[in-house]
Structure 1
């Protein structure tokens, strides 16, 4: 299953937690890059896109819940 399909199965609180975890991971990777410890800089791009994907799905779910009310 793809990452977006996994995220779509979660509720809003679960997605918010996922975004928070991804942002922490991205911060750690940025610090590793700054201290020249990061060998695979491509992981920065992957985590940045994962954050964007999760935020997009979160916005969609929040819009759906507002429309349902």
Structure 2
């Protein structure tokens, strides 16, 4: 997910995306611990997307 894409979302959509990514992160961590994860790079991608969404949410809240 690119930052321009994230900036286009509303705060409600960002919150939904954040919840979704956190669930995916939990599942990936669980799979990694049990040795079942296939795409190891996805763990880092999800973590970075969570950080991007949190950053955009903070900037939107600061502007309001």
**TM-score, normalised with respect to structure 2:** 0.91
Q: Which has the higher Rg, Structure 1 or Structure 2?
A: 1
Q: How many residues align?
A: 64
Deviation at 1:40, TM superposition (A): 2.4
Deviation at 1:6, TM superposition (A): 1.3
- What residue in structure 1 maps to residue 30 of structure 2? 31
> Which structure 1 segments of 5+ residues have no match?
none
**TM-score, normalised with respect to structure 1:** 0.85
Q: CA RMSD in A?
A: 1.1
- What residue in structure 1 maps to residue 21 of structure 2? 22
> Which structure 2 segments of 5+ residues have no match?
none
Matches within 5 A, 1:1-69: 3-65=2-64
